[in-house]
Structure 1
Amino acid sequence: MDIEHHQSGARRQRRKQPHTMVQRLLSWGLPVSCSRFLWRQPGEFPVTAFLLGAGAGGLLAIGLFQLLVNPMNIYEEQKMMFLYSLVGLGAMGWGTSPHIRCASLLLVPKMLGKEGRLFVLGYALAAIYVGPVANLRHNLNDVIASLGCTVELQINNTRAAWRVSTAPLRAVFKDLLSSKELLRAETRNISTTFEDLDAQVKSETGYTPEDAVDSGETAQGRGAHQAPASSLHLSTQKMYELKTKLRCSYVVNQAILSCRRWFDHKHEQCMKHIWVPLLTHLLCLPMKFKFFCGIAKVMEVWCRNRIPVEGNFGQTYDTLNQSIRDLDGEFSVNIDFKEEKQAGVLGLNASWERVSTEVRDYVHHQEARLEWALGLLHVLLSCTFLLVLYTSFSYMDSYNHDIRFDNIYISTYFCQIDDRRKKLGKRTLLPLRKAEEKTVIFPCKPTIQASEMSNMVRELLETLPILLLLVVLCGLDWALYSIFDTIRHHSFLQYSFRSSHKLEVKVGGDSMLARLLRKTIGALNTSSETVMESNNMPCLPQPVGLDARAYWRAALPIGLLVCLCLLQAFGYRLRRVIAAFYFPKREKKRILFLYNDLLRKRAAFTKLRRAAILRRARQQKAPRHPLADIL
């Protein structure tokens, strides 16, 4: 008996018509077991529901992780922690709570609504920032760097031209500076050479008074010896001639003395070898002829008459002696270089190298700020998803607690109620009047209806500023690129600097002074020929233009934003379908309330219209005033 009752109940449940279009489609396309599982009563199939819900929730959490968390610039350990947390929460929520399942699926229609547009708006701003704005900043920074490079190039060219033009003079001074020790060595060499000559002139060697006595001129020799010692008033020429004569006499006397000693030595040897008494004296007699040594006196006469001293030797010696003394006392060379750094323009002491470095650092700083802003924007976009999730839960709570909230849809169950009342002969609502159709929505119609059109137009107008911003930025980027590219192609400059010189100073002679002058003034003998060429090609701006793909990447989020405005109405319909799928009993109550509310409004409207018609009819049937007939 119980089995038959259960089977009859099951047949009635199978014969029961579906209350929604989704239920009708799923019942037609899915097996009976799947349909029973989807529209199960609370408490049925708990294990299967938990396992399937946990699996679906885990997969959904992995998808959200790949979409939101993985693009963030954080450590891998933090990413794995987020992944495990999301998967755990998704699996537990989907396996145990229909509210979480409903809120999770509501993310899809919410992404088609206002919250989704906010999310897409963030991506649109990011695309604009990465596309035209980033390209604008890149081109402007490149122009700033180009200006700094141009100024630095001009300064470097001026500096190079100055260095090239002053290179010969600097080379002369450097040669003089490097030859300072060589000049000092040369002066010391000259002084040393003169010291030998001076010692020879002032020397008193080579003559003695005794030699003068031996030569037969004792008195004259003595007077001549005393003269250089005491007569300081004699000139250098006279003094050197006297010394030369004395040295000549000294040499002659030494020769005579040596000759006599030789004869004495030979006489002694002869006496030793010949021992016969008489014969010894006879044979050794020639060794006694010392008078032959006096023949050397002839040379002394030649020394007096033909002295080998030039007539201007004394004067030349005195002049050279004075020059050497002046050279040792007054000749000195000191070469000093002093480099002065001029203050920069407008009182700045910073060098142009520092200015160029600051410009490059500014450009790099701007690029770093751009990267930081993009990273922050990605983080904000990821956080925007939390707002979408919050609105999903908020819609679900409002759906379950506020029966008037979003209760404007003429669903399948609404039509079933109207058919049932029609069969019972009661008042019905369908078809609705034109005034009523403007306040409700037929979810199965593929067109946008009157109540949805106003929201769509408002959302499209809200999208217009971001669209205008994209157009303005793209136009500005294209205009600046055209200007900078024109500057690049028509601002090429080539610098050419040529310099040549030849300086030659000839110093003749082989004297010490000539050699000294050749070592000093000869440093001026320089020649150079310099050719310096440069151009501003490295400093020209290198603008980058956006290609068609970049423009499409920047415009695609805006197009998606416009499409979301057009699809917003269907997204709002879909969120009501999802909520009705998870809360069918609440959906029935809401539809009953909507039906009764429309009945009350129609009854009130009918009563008001009847009263207005009756009032107008009474006004038409009222008796005319006599005055009206007279008039």
Structure 2
Amino acid sequence: MDIKHHQNSARGQRRKQPHTTVQRLLSWGLPVSCSRFLWRQPGEFPVTAFLLGAGAGGLLAIGLGAMGWGTSPHIRCASLLLVPKMLGKEGRLFVLGYALTAIYVVMEVWCRNRIPVEGNFGQTYDSLNQSIHGLDGEFSANIDFKEEKQAGVLGLNTSWERVSTEVRDYVYRQEARLEWALGLLHVLLSCTFLLVLHASFSYMDSYNHDIRFDNIYISTYFCQIDDRRKKLGKRTLLPLRKAEAKTVIFPCKPTIQASEMSNVVRELLETLPILLLLVVLCGLDWALYSIFDTIRHHSFLQYSFRSSHKLEVKVGGDSMLARLLRKTIGALNTSSETVMESNNMPCLPQPVGLDARAYWRAALPIGLLVCLCLLQAFGYRLRRVIAAFYFPKREKKRILFLYNDLLKKRAAFTKLRRAAILRRARQQKASRHPLADILHRGCPLLRRWLRRRCVVCQAPETPESYVCRTLDCEAVYCWSCWDDMRQRCPVCTPREELSSSAFSDSNDDTAYAG
């Protein structure tokens, strides 16, 4: 029993610490058997791996997709890389297509149904104004009424059935054109999906063949290497300097970092044209609606024509002839009254503004496009997580290379940045008045505004900062930068001593992480 307990404890000690956050979470939340299966060595559990992979592939794809999921980790990795790729520029092509479709459909319906203006509206309006001004003067007119039967369409002797058929055929032709345009757009979107799939495989190949490709992440294994070197008393990298932090990414930070900001700004600028198009079209919609609504309210005219006449013949006398004339001519006595009202309402536009639903349909894809630009940074981080899950050994090699590369750059920092350090030290010394040093030493309340900065990283001076003791130098270094300078001031130290073999080739420079 003691021997068995000793063997179990030895196995527990030999169990490797998780190198990634995903591995740590899965090891904590899953049973030991599942964790062992996920982090198996090549060749272990071949039947189980094939069946589970084929089953998962069958749920996501058909045919060769299931076979690929069952036999190749490259297929599984590339398939999962579709998710972060859809959050990148490839996925934005989908949303951009839907945004243009929404704008096109909304504006096409708006132009067809919301502005029913006749072609001769301007001429009719001018003629109407001239008629109104002509009514100001005195006039006399003779009106003859004559009723004539006219065809349904002026100038054409066509039946209503034929007109209805022609209008219906025209509508069908326009609808067919719109369906053809939408079908072409669907084909283009399908081609875009092929681009996304190609980008997924391209990322996976670059990840496995180019060790510098997308190798800028300070992962959990990177921190473990740094902790191990710290325990051994070797030079470490964490915390990174400001200049170094601008070139790498901390995956667990919930904010967009400096190295990601340039891509985000560029993608937002690429989204700006479609956003401006939407704003211009919405502004044009509001302007046209306001114009036509003003015309409808202020150009309304109504005419009222009233006429009446009375014909009465009076025959006087009591003779027989008079009575005869009264009976015969009296039948001609008539009276009538005519009332006619008309207005120009059929000639005026009847604008109808777009409702809130139409605006939402056009603006929602644009908003989604902007959100994808902001989420692109986190989607790109997810690409590395997925690739590291399927290729853990490759991820360890990449992190070791990144750590050693940063060590080399920091070791050569003094030689490469000596000119900049000298310039900063001279500028700081030239622009600082001697009274500032006196107030800095004698008045603690003013030290916050009078403190100097590190000539290497420009960090504010703190009580732990080191001030060079050389006369007429007094360059300020924060403690980490002073340690990086190997406690040698590059401002007052001759170049020959800085570039000597005793200074540049130390054990710390050659003892890289392994």
**Equivalents in 2 of 1:61, 1:127: separation in Å?**
30
What CA distance in whole angstroms lies between the structure 1 residues aligned with 2:22 and 2:156? 78
Contact 1:21 1:412 (C-alpha < 8 Å) held by counterparts: yes
Give the Å deviation of 1:467: 0.8
- Pairwise CA distance, 1:60: 2.3
Q: Give the distance between the partners of 1:588 and 1:625, measured in 2 at CA.
A: 52
Is residue 82 of structure 2 the alignment partner of residue 91 of structure 1? no
The answer for the alignment partner of 1:108 in structure 2 is 83
Cα pair distance change 1:26/1:594, threshold 3 Å: same
Query: 1:560 offset after TM fit, Å?
Result: 1.1
Shift of 1:396: 0.5
* Distance in structure 2 (CA, Å) of the matches to 1:106 and 1:488: 57
Per-residue CA deviation, residues 358-408 of structure 1 (Å, 9 max, x unaligned), is: 888666544442332223222322321111111011101100011100000
Partner Cα separation in structure 2 for residue 115 and residue 300 of structure 1: 28
CA displacement 1:545-599 (0-9 Å, x = unmatched): 3211221121111111111111111111111011000100000010111111111
Judging changes above 3 Å, is the alpha-carbon distance between structure 1 residues 528 and 251 closer, same or farther for their aligned structure 2 residues? closer
Measured in 1, the distance between the counterparts of 2:120 and 2:433 equals 170
Q: CA deviation at 1:413?
A: 0.6
Percent identity between the two aligned chains = 96
Question: Is the partner of 2:337 in helix, strand or coil?
Answer: strand
In structure 1, distance between residues paired with 2:110 and 2:47: 152
Q: Kindly tell me: are residues 511 and 414 of structure 1, through their superposed partners in 2, closer, same or farther at Cα, counting changes over 3 Å? A: farther
Q: Tell me which moved more, 358-367 or 596-605.
A: 358-367
Give, in whole Å, the separation in 2 of the partners of 1:102 and 1:300.
43
Where does residue 58 of structure 1 map in the other structure?
A: 58
- Unpaired runs of at least 5, structure 1: 64-88, 129-249, 253-298
Pick which of 303-312 and 331-340 moved more. Answer: 303-312
CA distance in 2, matches of 1:477, 1:318: 25
SS in 1 for 2:150: coil
Q: Deviations over 1:394-437 (max 9, x none)?
A: 10110001110000011111111111122222222111111111
**Pair 463,343 (structure 1): closer, same or farther in 2 beyond 3 Å:** same
Distance 1:335 1:523, change over 3 A: farther
d(CA) in 1 for partners of 2:57, 2:35: 21
Q: Is 1:522 aligned to residue 330 of structure 2?
A: yes
Pick the aligned partner of 1:592 from 397, 400, 403: 400
CA deviation map 1:37-67 (0-9, x unaligned)? 211222222232223222322322389xxxx
Higher gyration radius (CA): 1
CA–CA separation in structure 1 for the residues paired with 2:431 and 2:330: 143
Distance 1:368 1:306, change over 3 A: closer
Q: TM-score, normalised by structure 1?
A: 0.49
The offset of 1:453, in angstroms, is 1.2
Q: CA deviation at 1:127?
A: 1.8
Is the contact made by 1:407 and 1:590 (CA closer than 8 Å) also made in structure 2?
yes
SS of alignment partner, residue 303 of structure 2: strand
After superposition, the C-alpha distances for 1:604-630 in whole angstroms (9 at most, x for unaligned) are 113345698899999999999999999
SS in 2 for 1:347: coil
Q: 1:22-61 residue pairs with structure 2 within 5 A?
A: 22-61=22-61
- Relative to structure 1, the CA distance from residue 309 to residue 581 in structure 2 (aligned partners, 3 Å threshold; closer, same or farther) is closer
Moved more, 423-432 or 9-18: 9-18
CA offsets 1:100-123 (integer angstroms, 9 cap, x no match)? 111111111111111112221112
- Give CA-to-partner distance per residue, 1:425-465, whole Å, 9 cap, x none: 22221111111111111111112111111111121121111
Query: Contact 2:121/2:347 (CA < 8 Å) preserved in 1?
Result: no
Deviations 1:281-308 (CA, angstroms, capped at 9, x unpaired): xxxxxxxxxxxxxxxxxx9999999999
Instruction: Give deviations 1:206-262, integer Å, cap 9, x for gaps.
Output: xxxxxxxxxxxxxxxxxxxxxxxxxxxxxxxxxxxxxxxxxxxx999xxxxxxxxxx
Q: Using a 3 Å threshold, how does the CA distance of structure 1 residues 515 and 580 change in structure 2: closer, same or farther?
A: farther
- The answer to whether the 8 A contact 1:113-1:572 is kept is yes
- Alpha-carbon distance between aligned partners in 2 of 1:547 and 1:109, rounded to the nearest angstrom: 35
Cross-structure match for 2:97:
122
Alpha-carbon spacing, 1:499–1:50, altered in 2? closer, same or farther (3 Å): farther
- 1:439 and 1:451 in contact (8 A); partners too: yes
SS in 2 for 1:346: coil
Matched-pair contact (CA < 8 Å) for 2:114–2:353: no
Paired with 2:301 and 2:327, the residues of 1 have a C-alpha distance of 45
- Contact kept, 8 Å, 1:123 with 1:381, in 2: the verdict is no
- The verdict on how the C-alpha distance between 1:504 and 1:397 changes in structure 2, with shifts beyond 3 A counting, is farther
Instruction: Tell me, yes or no, if the aligned pair for 2:278 and 2:363 is still in contact at 8 Å.
Output: yes
Does the 8 A contact of 2:310 with 2:334 survive in 1? Answer: yes
Distance change (3 Å), C-alpha of 1:332 and 1:390: closer
Cα distance change of structure 1 residues 360 and 432 upon mapping to structure 2, 3 Å threshold = same
Q: By how many angstroms is 1:18 displaced?
A: 0.4
> What is the Cα deviation at residue 96 of structure 1?
1.7
Alpha-carbon distance change, 354 to 321 in structure 1, aligned in 2, over 3 angstroms: closer
Question: CA shift at 1:16, angstroms?
Answer: 1.4
- Closer, same or farther: CA 555–6 of 1 in aligned 2, 3 Å: farther
Identify if the C-alpha distance between structure 1 residues 425 and 477 changes in structure 2 by more than 3 Å, giving closer, same or farther.
Answer: same
Higher helix share: 1
Residues 569-578 or 326-335, more deviating: 326-335
Q: Which of 100-109 and 602-611 deviates more? A: 602-611
Question: Judging changes above 3 Å, is the alpha-carbon distance between structure 1 residues 527 and 8 closer, same or farther for their aligned structure 2 residues?
Answer: same
**Alignment check: 8 A CA contact 1:418 1:429 kept:** yes
SS in 1 for 2:340: strand
Q: Match of 1:363, SS?
A: helix
When residues 99 and 496 of structure 1 are mapped into structure 2, their CA distance, relative to the original with a 3 A threshold, is farther
| Aligned mates of 1:327, 1:308 — CA distance in 2 | 29
8 Å CA contact retained: 1:408, 1:440 = yes
Q: Larger RCO: Structure 1 or Structure 2 (Cα < 8 Å, ≥ 6 residues apart)?
A: 1
Distance in 1 of aligned mates of 2:428 and 2:108? 186
2: CA distance between counterparts of 1:251 and 1:116?
22
SS of the residue 1:330 aligns to: coil
Return the alpha-carbon distance in structure 2 between the equivalents of residues 425 and 302 of structure 1. 73
For the residues of structure 2 that align with 1:605 and 1:569, how far apart are their CA atoms? 29
Structure 1 residues 500, 451: closer, same or farther in 2, change over 3 A?
same
1:480 maps onto 2:288 in alignment? yes
Structure 2: gaps (5+ residues): 439-514
Shift of 1:473: 0.8
Query: Does the CA contact (< 8 Å) of 2:118 and 2:347 recur in 1?
Result: no
Counterpart contact for 1:50–1:96, Cα < 8 Å = yes
Q: 1 CA distance for matches of 2:403 and 2:313?
A: 121
Q: 1:488 to 1:352 in 2, by over 3 A?
A: farther
For residue 140 of structure 2, the aligned residue among 332, 354, 357 is: 332
Task: State the distance in 2 between where 1:478 and 1:519 align.
Answer: 71
User: Is residue 117–residue 348 contact of structure 2 (8 Å, CA) maintained in 1?
Assistant: no
How far 1:478 moved relative to its partner?
2.6
Change (3 A) 1:455 1:337: closer
Specify whether residues 463 and 519 from structure 1 end up closer, same or farther in structure 2 by C-alpha distance, changes over 3 A only: farther
Conservation of the 8 A alpha-carbon contact between 2:56 and 2:69: yes
Q: Is the 8 A contact 1:399 1:406 kept in 2?
A: yes
CA contact (8 A) 2:114 2:350 kept: no
C-alpha distance in 2 between matches for 1:352 and 1:578 = 67
**Contact persistence 1:54–1:92 (CA under 8 A):** yes
Mark the CA change 1:587 to 1:350 in structure 2 (over 3 Å): closer, same or farther: same
> CA offset at residue 95 of structure 1?
1.7
Q: Provide Cα deviations, 1:145-174, integer angstroms capped at 9, x if missing partner.
A: xxxxxxxxxxxxxxxxxxxxxxxxxxxxxx
Structure 1 residue 322, shift from structure 2 partner: 66
Asked if the contact 2:86–2:92 (Cα under 8 Å) also holds between the matched residues in 1, the reply is yes
